[in-house]
Structure 1
C-alpha cells in the first residue's frame, strides 16, 4: 500500500510504501477489544485496604459495664463508632492486573494501525519541524492537513521539541514516540499521524 507523504505545509513530499504485514492486516473487533481491555485493567492502581477492628492498636478492655451506664454496650474502644476505631466494612486490598500473550498484543497493534490505514485516517508527514515552536503557526497548518478533531502524532525515537511546544495547548492533539504506540490511544483518536522516522521504527519493531 502506497501513501502520500505530506509536509506540515500540506505540500506533497513523495510517496512511501507501507508494509502489508503491519498496515495490511484485516482488523478484528474481538482482538482489539481484548488488547484495549488488557491495557485499561493494567492502568488501574491497586486499592489500599482500610484498617478494621482487628487492625487497630487500641485497648481491648471493655469500655463500660454492660448495664446501668446509660450508654450503649460497647465491648472495647476499637468499635467503628469511636474516633480512632476500626473502619466498618472498609475496602479490601486489591491488585488489578491482567495478562495477555505477546503475540495477541502485537497483532492488536497491527490491526489498529491497519484500521487507520484502510479507513483513510492515516497521514504520513515528512517531519514535525515548526518554526520557533509557535502554536498559532501550527494551528493554521493543521487545518489544511485535515487532522480532524482528535489526532495522535507518532514520532521516531525522540519527540520533536518544536512540535511538542507548539502542540501542547492544542486540544485533541497528542504526541507519542514510536515506542509508546499502543492500541488504546490509536483507536480513541480520529486521525493517526506518523512521521517517516516513526514509520521506520514501527515497522522495525515488528520485524525485530
Structure 2
C-alpha cells in the first residue's frame, strides 16, 4: 500500500510503498500479546527473596520437651508458624525468562506494525534531522504531525534531532535495530523515516 511521505514542516515530500506482508496484515491481538508478555518477562529482575528457616537469626534449639508440655511439639523458633519466623515456600531469586520462537517474534512485530497502519497511526518522514538543537521548535513540529505521544524510529539519529527530542515528554527515539512490539504498542503514533521503512523491510520481508 502507498502512503504519503512528509517532512518535519508537515509538507508532502512524495510517496512510499509499504509492504503489505508487513503493514497490511489483519492484526492478531493474541500474537501481539504473546510477544509483549515474553518481552516483559525477560526484563524482570527476579531478585525477590525472603529468608528461609536456615537464614532466620533465631534460636535453633528445641523449645521444650517432646512430651508432657501440654501443647504442640515444636522444634526451632525460626519455623514459619511463629511470629518472626521464616516464610514457608517464599520466593527465591530466579529468571522469569522463557523461550519464544523467532518466527512468532517476527510475526508479532509484523502484526503490531499492521495494527498501527490499520489505525492510521503511522507517519512516514523523509528524514529526522534538525538544523539546531531546539526542543521547543521540534515539539511544535511533531505536534503538527499529530505525534504527541510517539515512537520515532530511524537508522541513525541526527545529533541535533536527538538533543532536541530527549526532553520532550512522551516522545521516544529508537534505532531500527531495537524496534520491538512493546514500544510500538504503548505509543499512540509510530513515526518512521524512509530509511527506517527500508531497514524494517530488509529485516522482516
Shorter chain as denominator, the TM-score bin is 0.7 to 0.9
The aligned residue for residue 52 of structure 1 is 52
The aligned residue for residue 127 of structure 2 is 127
Give me the CA root mean square deviation.
2.7
Offset, 1:50: 2.9
Partner SS state of residue 162, structure 1: helix
The aligned residue for residue 68 of structure 1 is none
Runs of 5+ consecutive residues of structure 2 not aligned to the other structure? 66-73
The aligned residue for residue 71 of structure 1 is none
The aligned residue for residue 70 of structure 1 is none
**Across the two proteins, how many residue pairs are aligned to each other?**
197
TM-score (norm 2): 0.83
Partner SS state of residue 152, structure 2: strand
Runs of 5+ consecutive residues of structure 1 not aligned to the other structure? 66-73
The aligned residue for residue 178 of structure 1 is 176
Offset, 1:92: 2.1
CA distance in 1, matches of 2:78, 2:118: 63
Offset, 1:122: 0.6
Of the candidates 169, 180, 192, which is equivalent to residue 194 of structure 1? 192
C-alpha deviations, 1:29-52, integer Å up to 9, x for none? 111111112112222111343332
CA distance in 2, matches of 1:100, 1:186: 19
User: Is the contact between residue 128 and residue 157 of structure 2 (CA under 8 Å) also seen in structure 1?
Assistant: no
User: Is the contact between residue 77 and residue 85 of structure 2 (CA under 8 Å) also seen in structure 1?
Assistant: no
TM-score (norm 1): 0.81
